[in-house]
Amino acid sequence: MACQVDFKGEKVVSVEGGQTLLQASLAAGIPHYHACGGKGQCTTCRVLVVEGQEKLTPPTSYERAIRNVKKFPDIVRLACQSYVTGEGVEVRRLIRDETDRYIFIDSQEDSTMTVMGERRKLALFFIDIRSFTPFIEANLPFDVIHIMRRIFGLFRNAIALYQGEIIDTSGDGLYAVFGLNSRIKKATESAVLAGLKILEDIKIFNNTYMRPYFNHTFEVGIGVHVGNVIVGNVGIGISNNLTVMGFPVNIAARLQAATKELDNSFVISAIAYRLLRNPPYAVGCNYLNLKGVSNAYEVKLIGKPYEVKQGKEGLG
């Protein structure tokens, strides 16, 4: 039996039995944002229950988990997790503005339950070239581009060899993921093998090419971590490239940056390290304080100390 729910300031919506508040509001043409596709894994569909809280089904386990983290009061409900059991419900959507409407509703598949990303556990891999700024300063621009292409070619080949996917490049570094088509243990192993191969390839490249032809050598910093991230085209760029986002990505990036202060070319989180079947030798056990992470973060150093010592800010 259908119940009427008043979406305050918008319209009165008829909610069928078995239909969530979100499904009903979308069916009625309300541009109700739902970033996770109604899976109870975001907060964008939340509503304030103005009246009739007792006429909604109790919060689901997903909803309880989010409410615990976000400390939402009881009168805030996730529309995708709420069913209506009787008349008299009045709600107000909490996330609603014209930009949301344009980006997420009007310009996409209208009122469908489209998910803009998928939650996946991946191995996250960041790499950066050290000492690149002095090289740029001392060499001609076309030489710099030539060398850059050679080095990125090494990165690309190693990452492809172990089925990784490059997500983004920026300046003298890049970001890749492993595990889009494999399980996390295999993915972590692949990320580590790709990193170790790059370290080896750079050494050869230095000896056979950079030293004799350019009187310069390069070193790199690599950070690897694992975690749950959102994968997909989340509509934040101008292209349709794959995007991978989530807090673990930030951690992996910080591990890469920490290679300088830890004076080791390859830093992997202990969580990722423990997933390895044949872990490489790690130099001791280190703890890092990472911005946004309350406890010190345990990491393993599986690379080599830098030949050119890196300041905390590094040499670029």
Q: Interface with ligand FES by CB under 6 A: which residues?
A: 34-36, 38-42, 44-45, 78, 80
Cβ-closest position to ligand FES: 80
Nearest approach in angstroms of CB 254 to ligand FES is 28
Nearest approach in angstroms of CB 40 to ligand FES is 5
Q: Which is nearer to ligand FES, 110 or 200 (CB)?
A: 110
Percent of the chain that is helix, strand, coil (3-state, to 5) = 35, 25, 40
Q: Which is nearer to ligand FES, 55 or 93 (CB)?
A: 93
Nearest approach in angstroms of CB 37 to ligand FES is 6
Q: Which is nearer to ligand FES, 80 or 187 (CB)?
A: 80
Q: Which is nearer to ligand FES, 94 or 166 (CB)?
A: 94
Q: Which is nearer to ligand FES, 37 or 164 (CB)?
A: 37
Structure tokens at 21: 């508040």
Q: In angstroms, rounded to a whole number, what is the distance separating the alpha carbons of residues 269 and 71? A: 29
Nearest approach in angstroms of CB 39 to ligand FES is 6
Please choose, from the candidates 267, 244, 257, the residue with its C-alpha nearest in 3D space to the C-alpha of residue 168. Answer: 244
Number of neighbours of residue 49 by Cβ within 10 angstroms: 20
Long-range contacts (CB closer than 8 Å, 24 or more residues apart) made by 109-115: 111/26, 111/27, 111/29, 111/31, 112/26, 113/22, 113/23, 113/26, 113/34, 113/37, 113/38, 114/37, 115/36, 115/37, 115/39, 115/232
Nearest approach in angstroms of CB 104 to ligand FES is 11
